[in-house]
Structure 1
């Protein structure tokens, strides 16, 4: 009699009913050649929880209680339940090491994609969520209904601190709320963070005095965590109320640390998703942007880039809408994704960016509504009359959209919008 070698099938149980405090993952999978579907999903559940490649001589009884179970199979989609005792409270890196760890390197799987994860209330309670959230950001900027507006000085990197600040001033004077660093601008030899911060603070105060409006910036503090803490304190001391972090490149551990630090300083966290497409662009493998957005809301960002559906970056209308819902709603109960009750976790703002201009504003707002941040950069700086006129054109497009007025009609009495439409019309970048 040949001894049994593996025990992967013991992690498949189609009669299992998940407990209310189980974490539930939804995966798309493709078995490698010669591997059955049951063998594949057993390996996913095993390797991401309490299994190994072979049977063992001794096992504590506890293992039977804490092992994950693949309990529902629908074509190439499987749901796996993970008992709460597998997870350390408040530890996002450990969570990813399980549900998105070794399983992606198993030879038995040709492709694997983590689509969604439903967090139980008990697990959620160990995380803080957004410090400011949608209401907090609106309160900081004193904006009640319309979308928040912001722009990156373009080109994305290359300006001196003084040049950067001058573009910021023109952006604010055109009616925009925020000026944003791009993802690869931190502190360079020609644009030091401290210099940029101070020059912009002076022009922010000038713009606020001249317009009577709140003005702020999304200054990029991305870096080693202790350095981010130092820069966050500089932001606070100079009167800024936001901090920008490239959350994927920094990692969940540093984001959790910065959630605490920024929370103490009263800073809202703007999350740039740079590098996300390295693992979410392939629809058959990696992690979904939906899952990433959900995780970032849990660990505490206040707004995060979610796509436009009509701009220059990848992301369908359906995906962008789903991401906006999981960021803003307190409960998700229908649709293609797993149910989610966020409990007391605050909503976060979806951020639309990448190839926008005034002619596309109505389309973006029809998808995202008013509770969003619109980042329009090249689409204001490329205006025939310059940055200030470009920002005015966007504000006019927002006003027309909220009033339900056609842009061409609104442009008759608004020259900045008319000039913008004359250049771009309704062009969608590729």
Structure 2
């Protein structure tokens, strides 16, 4: 769906149904605006003209042999296929929603997934008008601000994750962070399952970690950005963010799907720190091709909440997403949400990343405005963490200069070790 600005919210869906797609599209438009299964008293033509969603376009696709999802209504009525598929474009009046992010999500998604008329429905993409986008939060740091804070003017930001994911005390975590700072990383993040555990509560972990980060900065002039996982209930997240800021930190991380839109908006408005948006659980709402929400629509909603970084997984990584999906997701992060705006967020590549996945990343993305996060690729490097970091930087330097990794490795032992060890 092309970027447009006619003052309305636009959404594209993929549907599957044994009924006429045109009829189902009208049901969708009515259900998500001023209608229901039958016209009611007060639903005048004037009200419908003002408040009803509109079917903009329908593109029928090849049908399916079997339904993608069960449907008790069709089973009761003994309805059989063919199971027709189509793209449906709807537009919604902004006035129906206002600057209300949870209600926007309920409008473009909501009860659509429960419609009896479909055996599959997926929100694939959405676009908002510029005037509407400006009613929501912008990233506080985004790409340029993240580069400024970390002092990385060019090249990908090399990051890593605290490993083991859980189990370290605050002191042990700080010791690891100190070693990673010395190793030369730009960015360190907590794992999504380590927020405020009993064995390393944030009240102890943040001061301990930031003491070594500040000491490293005093020695070298380099500020390493640490994304502390402050996922919690809303008031607690605000307190955690305040602690990070008092200790000189620059970033907090939250598990978007489990905190919810309102909590992330509250956090964004409360703090000037970078908000690192972790999408764990995204597969539950995206992995089935005929159900849920595609990344373009997903990241649109969360960017309206004001996040600065968005996870996209990694190329040739350990998760189920195809490389094509990862590439599209990264480009979605770079694309303005509305015409004339500069509101890009920094994509975070992770999952099975190491020096050997750099060429595919560079070839697909064509720019290095990204977080390239490597856990095992740094911490399990046979030469140690510093050698792991150097191997990734050597890989980026090679591909940006048009040199193959094999050729570059002849003169740099860290990259050669990485290729020999992880390449197996």
TM-score of the two chains, using structure 2 as the length reference = 0.88
Q: Which residue of 2 aligns with 1:299?
A: 305
Q: Which residue of 2 aligns with 1:348?
A: 345
Match of residue 74, structure 1, among 55, 59, 69: 59
Partners of 2:158 and 2:389 within 8 A in 1: no
Q: Which residue of 2 aligns with 1:192?
A: 201
Distance 1:164 1:388 in 2: 17
Q: Which residue of 2 aligns with 1:47?
A: 31
Q: CA deviation at 1:252?
A: 0.9
Q: Which residue of 2 aligns with 1:158?
A: 167
Partners of 1:29 and 1:112 within 8 A in 2: yes
Structure-2 change in CA distance of 1:98 and 1:25 (3 Å): same
Matched, 1:113 2:97: no
Q: Which residue of 2 aligns with 1:364?
A: 361
Partners of 1:290 and 1:319 within 8 A in 2: no
Match of residue 422, structure 2, among 410, 419, 424: 424
Deviation sequence 1:322-380 (CA, Å, 0-9, x none): 322232233xxxxxxxxx53433521111100011111122222223211111101111
Aligned length: 394
SS of alignment partner, residue 392 of structure 2: helix
Partners of 2:101 and 2:304 within 8 A in 1: no
Q: Which residue of 1 aligns with 2:232?
A: 223
Q: CA deviation at 1:225?
A: 0.5
Partners of 1:317 and 1:367 within 8 A in 2: no
Distance 2:206 2:5 in 1: 50
The runs of 5 or more residues in structure 1 that have no matched partner are: 1-17, 331-339
Q: Which residue of 2 aligns with 1:411?
A: 409
Q: CA deviation at 1:19?
A: 8.2
Instruction: Give runs of aligned pairs for residues 7-406 of structure 1, distance below 5 A.
Output: 20-31=6-17, 33=18, 35-60=19-44, 61-75=46-60, 76-89=86-99, 91-262=100-271, 266-330=272-336, 341-368=338-365, 369-406=367-404
Moved more, 359-368 or 227-236: 359-368
SS of alignment partner, residue 423 of structure 1: helix
Q: CA deviation at 1:158?
A: 2.0
Distance 1:98 1:402 in 2: 44
Partners of 2:133 and 2:304 within 8 A in 1: yes
The runs of 5 or more residues in structure 2 that have no matched partner are: 61-85
Distance 1:105 1:279 in 2: 14
Distance 1:219 1:59 in 2: 50
Aligned-pair Cα RMSD in Å: 1.8
Partners of 1:130 and 1:345 within 8 A in 2: no
Distance 1:152 1:288 in 2: 26
Moved more, 207-216 or 95-104: 207-216
Partners of 1:132 and 1:302 within 8 A in 2: yes
Distance 2:339 2:388 in 1: 39
TM-score of the two chains, using structure 1 as the length reference = 0.87
Q: Which residue of 2 aligns with 1:335?
A: none
Partners of 1:171 and 1:391 within 8 A in 2: no
Distance 2:16 2:211 in 1: 56
Distance 1:40 1:282 in 2: 21
Distance 1:219 1:68 in 2: 41
Partners of 1:152 and 1:182 within 8 A in 2: yes
Distance 1:77 1:28 in 2: 5
Partners of 1:218 and 1:270 within 8 A in 2: yes
SS of alignment partner, residue 349 of structure 2: strand
SS of alignment partner, residue 28 of structure 1: strand
Moved more, 214-223 or 410-419: 410-419
